Structure 1
Amino acid sequence: MSIVNDIKRAYNQANTVEKLIYIQVATFIPFLIARNFIINWFTLKPSLEVFLTQPWTILTYGFFHGSFIHVLFNLLFLYYVGNLFLNFFTTKQFINYFLFGILGGGIAFLVMAPSGFLIGSSAGIMAVLVGLTTKIPNYEIRLNLIGGVKLWVITAIYVAVSIVGLDGTNPGGNMAHLGGALIGFLYTKQLEKGNDIGRFLEMIINSIANLFKPKNKKPLRTVHKKNNIKRKPSYKEENTKQKKIDGILDKISKSGYESLTKEEKEFLFKVGKK
């Protein structure tokens, strides 16, 4: 039981990216036990007729993986890209990007209608990666033996590999990657215009979560001292904060992360944790 408690404790202390990784690992176990059942009921098939009888597969395919190497590579990549993403976006936006990427990848797969089935979270990860790259294309990633590499270069390589792969042995999977990438690009571009296209998805998730929350018959009255009441930031304060964030991101885009002052790095870190 101590192992189970340790896992629960680790999960509760994890951030959103790490919790998603725990979920992906957990779903890989039943795939090993009941492979055919999972493939039949939870992976996305190229047939529109089959999809209409299994509409949930447009999402569930993104939470299973076909092999140990598949899940290991995706989750390692998700860990590094996802945690970097949280420094510039909110946790809710991370969930939105990932789920929209899964949906976009699934739709691209259905449109192409290849043979086989679609499985894996790559489309969601591509949405996160491309969305982040669209925001901070010149951010430098430090790689062993290579040194600093611009984020847009890494992303361009992944997109190029997916395009070339359309003529390979896994055209459906590569089409899904490109579908997720397109979603990530469009989402960030809309955010830059002040439109968060993921708001309605947040509303759906919150509505579902509220169904499982315990309801108190008699709400408790709580008396607060005035000095303990947290004041909601005004619109002017929020606008000033956003301008400061945009200024720092512009600086990163032009000169790289290392050009930031210690205060700017601390400010960006605190914002990313909220």
Structure 2
Amino acid sequence: MSIIDEIKQSFRQGGVVTRLIYINLGVFVVIRILHALFALTLSDINIPILYWLSVPASLENLIFQPWSIITYMFLHFDFIHILFNMLTLFWFGKIFLQFFNPRQLLGTYFMGGISGALLYIISYNIFPGLQDFVPSAIMLGASASVMAIIFASAKYAPNFKVHLLFIGPVKLMHLALVILIMDIIGVGSMQNTGGHLAHIGGALFGLFYTAQLTKGKDVTMKFNRFMDRAVSFFSPKPKMKVTYNKSKRPMNDMEYNAQKRKKQSDIDRILDKIKASGYESLTKQEKEDLFNASNN
């Protein structure tokens, strides 16, 4: 098996965190190869595609590249930048999946990134100290998306222990707050101001997401449905093949209605449990049943 085949197999068999990391790494490699080609052939080594995929602070520029509000969260240019982001995504993505399901992680990644981009764009266009930089300011990186995952996990399980090298066990919420404080301080330093603002936007979404989820509302659900439709629209349509399972007869009306009543009874019981003890009291299976029922 070739290296390419192994990568394809690893991507297909890997979970959502693995796939997100692969996509980020793939985009990074392509961008760096293009940069090398431009450096060898042109005196101006600026890569147009890097600007087309980065989210601009200028509303005028954003109108002509609306896709950038999504593409920027998969885009990196510096090795240290992508290394830190992917390691953080791997560590905290695994923690997130201890409490939530993969679809929720994917929705949090995208909507956290969008929230970070919106706060960055709004801030640059309303704060006088940043308006001079609007025409040239661009932003890229997965940091806002990762921050959403960190803070969603920290809000849901604030006392979860994270073991840090040379420090030891630290509560997840304490670690998240330290990261947030560093970003707030970073905004005032005018070094990577846009990035720090996006981090804060991602963190705020993570907190909002879990707060709504504990009330029984998954705010990523509609976004995930939209992404499902978008992917299915661009995916090749398989040829329809009709098969018959002789070992299993179709349900009659009485059996169907009985099954439907049982499912509704289970959902009512789960909702009553949320009202009485909160979302955290649900088992993993109950959370999955509630999520599946919401998608139907």
TM-score by length of 1: 0.83
C-alpha distance after superposition, 1:239-266 (max 9, x if no partner)? 667959x789569xxxxxxxxxxxxxxx
Provide the rounded CA distance (Å) in 2 between the counterparts of 1:167 and 1:34: 34
Provide the rounded CA distance (Å) in 2 between the counterparts of 1:33 and 1:199: 37
Which residue is equivalent to 1:258?
none
Does the 8 A contact of 1:46 with 1:109 survive in 2?
Answer: yes
Provide the rounded CA distance (Å) in 1 between the counterparts of 2:278 and 2:247: 37
C-alpha distance after superposition, 1:198-219 (max 9, x if no partner)? 12111111111222142434x4
Greater C-alpha radius of gyration:
2
Which residue is equivalent to 1:256?
none
Provide the rounded CA distance (Å) in 2 between the counterparts of 1:192 and 1:268: 14
Which residue is equivalent to 1:186?
208
Question: SS at the partner of 2:88?
Answer: helix
Q: Does 1:225 align with 2:254?
A: no
Provide the rounded CA distance (Å) in 2 between the counterparts of 1:222 and 1:15: 32
Which residue is equivalent to 2:24?
24
Provide the rounded CA distance (Å) in 2 between the counterparts of 1:108 and 1:194: 26
Q: Does 1:2 align with 2:2?
A: yes
Structure 1 position 224, deviation (Å): 5.3
The one-letter amino acid of 2:177's match is A
Does the 8 A contact of 1:87 with 1:268 survive in 2?
Answer: no
Provide the rounded CA distance (Å) in 1 between the counterparts of 2:67 and 2:236: 24
Structure 1 position 222, deviation (Å): 2.5
Alignment of 1:71-90 (within 5 A): 71-90=82-101
Alignment of 1:155-170 (within 5 A): 155-168=176-189, 169-170=191-192
Does the 8 A contact of 2:209 with 2:218 survive in 1?
Answer: yes
Provide the rounded CA distance (Å) in 2 between the counterparts of 1:161 and 1:239: 44
Does the 8 A contact of 2:17 with 2:93 survive in 1?
Answer: yes
Question: SS at the partner of 2:162?
Answer: strand
Which residue is equivalent to 1:52?
63
Structure 1 position 225, deviation (Å): 2.9
Structure 1 position 268, deviation (Å): 5.7
Q: 1:172 to 1:87 in 2, by over 3 A?
A: same
How large is the RMSD of aligned CA atoms in angstroms?
2.9
Does the 8 A contact of 2:213 with 2:279 survive in 1?
Answer: no
Alignment of 1:123-202 (within 5 A): 123-168=144-189, 169-202=191-224
Q: 1:224 to 1:140 in 2, by over 3 A?
A: farther
Which residue is equivalent to 1:100?
111
Q: 1:225 to 1:101 in 2, by over 3 A?
A: same
Q: 1:153 to 1:54 in 2, by over 3 A?
A: same
Does the 8 A contact of 1:85 with 1:132 survive in 2?
Answer: yes
- The alignment covers a number of residue pairs equal to 255
Provide the rounded CA distance (Å) in 1 between the counterparts of 2:90 and 2:267: 29
Gapped regions of structure 2 (runs ≥ 5): 36-46, 125-129, 252-258
TM-score by length of 2: 0.77
Q: Which has the higher contact order (CA 8 A, sep 6+)?
A: 1
Match of residue 263, structure 2, among 230, 234, 246: 234
C-alpha distance after superposition, 1:88-133 (max 9, x if no partner)? 1111111110100111111111112243310100000001111111
Which residue is equivalent to 2:127?
none
Structure 1 position 226, deviation (Å): 4.2
Give aligned-pair identity as a percent. 31
Provide the rounded CA distance (Å) in 2 between the counterparts of 1:247 and 1:225: 42
Provide the rounded CA distance (Å) in 2 between the counterparts of 1:241 and 1:88: 17
Does the 8 A contact of 2:216 with 2:279 survive in 1?
Answer: no
Q: 1:247 to 1:47 in 2, by over 3 A?
A: closer
Question: SS at the partner of 1:166?
Answer: helix
Does the 8 A contact of 2:108 with 2:145 survive in 1?
Answer: yes
Gapped regions of structure 1 (runs ≥ 5): 252-266
Question: SS at the partner of 1:34?
Answer: helix
Alignment of 1:253-268 (within 5 A): none
